[in-house]
Chain A
């Protein structure tokens, strides 16, 4: 029943800069099935965006991948119906253009700047469709208009010839989504696509993405630091900190049984309607800079549950119950958020 589209194994992305090596992604592993959506949560600098850019092959010097595999499945590369995976870390850059946009699409945070201001929406959509699908310009245009209708742009056949700046922020994000889905990719990576939008528009866009995901059968990775968005859209949640996974489980487990102290504290610092709280509890301290980090838990300096063992060795990313992984020596026991009482 489960059909993995993407298998990431022990992925690492380092950046060699003058001051040393920044270990932006430090051993990330996960599996994503068809039609499944994964929410990736973490603070700024936790490595979530870099992980996704690595999958997209968008890491440039001084960044490199010292270790790990990104196995991706698409029918285009599998011969005779046999299921085969290609390792994206070994794909030469010029071949990546066959993957990007065609099989893995990505949507960025700020719709105001994602589109080129100098070209019409039609131009930017048609170039993508024509490049990947080998169709005539007329046919590409037809498809583009169809897509714009689907994402809810009124008068799509006329508005397609407008420039990006003639659309509102929400509409631009819809256009970006339409471009992302234009070649019916197996995987859609959304990097905080609603962060730059106001709350009402945010809800609309999330709704739209969920609908489209079902319609196109796309697997989705949704990067955010907004846990309410995760609750809304994800099946599975991965919590990242300092380039490592801290916890990964299905969305209900994360919200009901947060086991890692970091997840726990994250949930304690957002308002929730199902748990009354007088004060939100911010996590003290700053996220770390991953410059030549010691091989220890990156959350250690801020962790209230740190033990002597934490200062000596790094915990494994262990499966504590089926499909629930945690990296911690001293996990929060069963109780739902100690702060609640």
Chain B
């Protein structure tokens, strides 16, 4: 198993290298660069632009730029953001907390509600409850996030911001709060974006869980467990559910890759200072090092997420476990 993990990690290196080359290429292929806004600005002289080009390394060819970037990374230097003039990691690091808080709570919301609802729907197939659960799921899936977010804010504002906060990350008096209240305040603010993102993901989780369990309930071993005289809850929860949960666990590993992705539209509407907004800004301004750092971060998480998914699957499925040795 350890050998397998090590092999996977080594195999990840060429993958990440490939990702970096392709994405650097694509960014370079886009017309113009960060300094275009300066070039068009009559207040900035051509000499100044030249100086800046030199400073940022934009005067060299994209290939050379890439290798300089790669060399610096190997030394642990991810470059500075053009816009903010601070190291890229400092910039990202500031957003990580808010992003993680949002994605983890959303994750708990989606899975914590989606899985039990999916199980319920499967066990009561075609019943009224199943239909209602399905409809709720699809409503969540069908309403665009930005619109749902607006509705949510509208509701929050109409109720005077007492039930839910009207956007933002922290309350006005945040700095004067004691520690426990600070914590609660942030949690209170995360509710809005969390419910928005969570309801849209709910349908997927629910339908997968429902479908999986229904499939397993039709299997011979379930009927055989009944024929052995096992009571219905043993048949369902020990035999069928144990098999139905496998693909869910794989999906769980995959969702790790999305933890730091951020959600552009929802963050925007709620004024949530997450990663999504940072990335969009960087893309629009062609702030190449920020974009690259984010792409690499996402890629590493994707590779890691896949690996974790496989390890989790091996942990729950003896067939996979014994094949990996």
| Stretch of A94-102, A267-275, A314-322 lying at the B interface | A94-102
Are A163 and B318 interface neighbours, CB within 8 A?
Answer: yes
Cα of A96 to Cα of B231 in the assembled complex, Å: 9
Contact in complex: A163, B322 (CB < 8 Å): yes
Q: A114-B224, A163-B318, A165-B319 are in contact. Are A131 and B219 (CB under 8 A)?
A: no
Which residues in window 218-234 of B have CB below 8 A to A? Answer: 219-221, 223-232, 234
Q: Which residue of B lies closest to A109 (CB)?
A: B220
Residue-wise interface mask of B (218-253) relative to A, using a CB-CB cutoff of 8 A (1 in contact, 0 not) = 011101111111111010001100110000000000
Nearest first, the 9 A-B pairs at minimum CB distance are A101-B229, A100-B229, A113-B220, A101-B228, A106-B227, A116-B221, A114-B224, A97-B229, A128-B228
Give Cα distance in the complex from A58 to B226, angstroms.
8
Please give the distance in Å from B211's CB to the nearest CB on chain A: 18
Residue picked from A94, A97, A108, most chain B C-beta under 10 Å: A97
Does any Cβ of B come within 8 Å of A176's Cβ? Answer: yes
A20 at the interface (CB under 8 A from B): no
Kindly state whether residue B36 has any CB partner on chain A within 8 Å. Answer: no
Q: How many A-B residue pairs have CB under 8 A?
A: 76
B-facing mask of A121-165, CB < 8 A → 1, else 0?
Answer: 000000110011000000000000000000000000000000101
Tell me whether B317 is interfacial, beta carbon within 8 Å. yes
Tell me whether B318 and A118 are in contact (CB under 8 A). yes
Contact with A along B87-107 (1 / 0, CB 8 A): 000000000000000000000
- Residues B230 and A128 in contact, CB atoms below 8 Å apart: yes
Inter-subunit contact B317/A116 (CB<8 Å): no
| Chain B: CB-nearest residue to A123 | B238
Q: Which residue of chain B is the closest to A58 with respect to CB atoms? A: B226
Contact A108 B319 (CB under 8 A): no
Q: How far is the CB of B123 from chain A (nearest CB, A)?
A: 12
A110: Cβ under 8 A from any B Cβ: yes
Contact of B230 with A108 in the complex, beta carbons under 8 Å: no
CB of A291, distance to nearest CB on chain B (Å): 21
CB pair B317–A118 under 8 Å, yes or no, is yes
Q: Give per-residue flags for A68-109: 1 if the beta carbon is below 8 A from chain B beta carbons, else 0.
A: 000000000000000000000000011011111110011011
Residues from chain A with Cβ under 8 Å of B242 in the complex: 116, 118-119
Is A223 interfacial (CB-CB < 8 Å)?
no
Whether A176 and B224, one on each chain, are in contact in the complex, defined by CB atoms closer than 8 angstroms, is: yes
* CB within 8 Å for A97 and B227 given contacts A108-B220, A117-B243, A118-B242: no
Structural contact, B243 and A108, CB atoms closer than 8 A: no
Q: What CA separation (Å) do A176 and B319 show in the bound complex?
A: 19
Name A100's contact: one of B227, B318, B322 (CB within 8 Å).
Answer: B227
A179 close to B (CB within 8 Å): yes
Chain A residues packing against B (C-beta within 8 Å): 56, 58, 93-94, 96-102, 105-106, 108-110, 113-120, 127-128, 131-132, 163, 165-166, 176, 179
Residue of B219, B224, B242 ringed by the most chain A CB atoms within 10 A = B224
Query: A132: which of B229, B316, B318 is its contact (CB, 8 Å)?
Result: B229
Cα of A101 to Cα of B230 in the assembled complex, Å: 8
B residues contacting A by CB (< 8 A) are: 219-221, 223-232, 234, 238-239, 242-243, 316-319, 322
Q: Shortest distance in angstroms between A60's beta carbon and chain B's nearest beta carbon?
A: 10
Q: A102 to B229, Cβ gap below 8 A?
A: yes
Q: Besides A97-B229, A98-B229, 5 other CB < 8 A contacts?
A: A102-B229, A115-B224, A117-B319, A119-B242, A127-B228
Question: Which of A102, A118, A163 is in CB contact (< 8 Å) with B243?
Answer: A118
A102 cross-chain contacts in B, Cβ below 8 A: 229
**In the complex, A163 Cα to B317 Cα: how many Å?**
11
13 contacts between A and B (CB under 8 A): A96-B229, A97-B229, A100-B229, A101-B227, A105-B227, A109-B220, A116-B221, A117-B221, A119-B242, A127-B230, A131-B228, A163-B319, A165-B318
| B267 → chain A closest CB, angstroms | 40
Q: Considering residues A58, A110, A116, which has the most beta carbons from chain B within 10 angstroms of its beta carbon? A: A116
Complex-state Cα separation, A93 to B226, whole angstroms: 11
Q: Does B219 lie within 8 Å of A108, measured CB to CB?
A: no
Alpha-carbon gap, A82 to B227, bound state (A): 28
Q: Is the CB of A115 within 8 A of B230?
A: no
| CA of A98 to CA of B317, assembled, Å | 31
Cβ-defined contact, A116 with B227, below 8 A? no
CA gap between A97 and B230 in the complex, in Å: 6
> Across the two chains, which residue of chain B brings its CB closest to A113?
B220
Bound CA–CA A94/B231 (angstroms): 7
What's the nearest-Cβ distance from chain B to residue A212, in Å? 17
A117 to B322, CA, bound (A): 12
Chain A positions within 8 Å of B318 at CB level: 117-118, 120, 163, 165
Contact, CB under 8 Å: B230 / A58: no
Q: Beyond A108-B223, A114-B220, is A100–B228 a contact (Cβ under 8 Å)? A: yes
**Contact (Cβ within 8 A) A131 B220:** no
Residues of B within 8 A of A132 (CB): 229
| Chain A: minimal CB distance from B205 (Å) | 21
- Chain A's closest residue to B221 (CB) is A116
- Residues in B whose Cβ lies below 8 Å from that of A128: 228-230
Select from chain A the residue with minimum beta-carbon distance to B240. A116
B228 touches A179 (CB 8 A): yes
For the complex, give the distance between the alpha carbons of A144 and B225 in Å.
Answer: 16
Scoring B225, B228, B242, B318 by chain A CB atoms within 10 A of each residue's CB, the highest score goes to B228
> Which residues on the B side are within 8 Å of A93 (C-beta)?
232
Interfacial chain B residues near A56, Cβ < 8 Å: 227
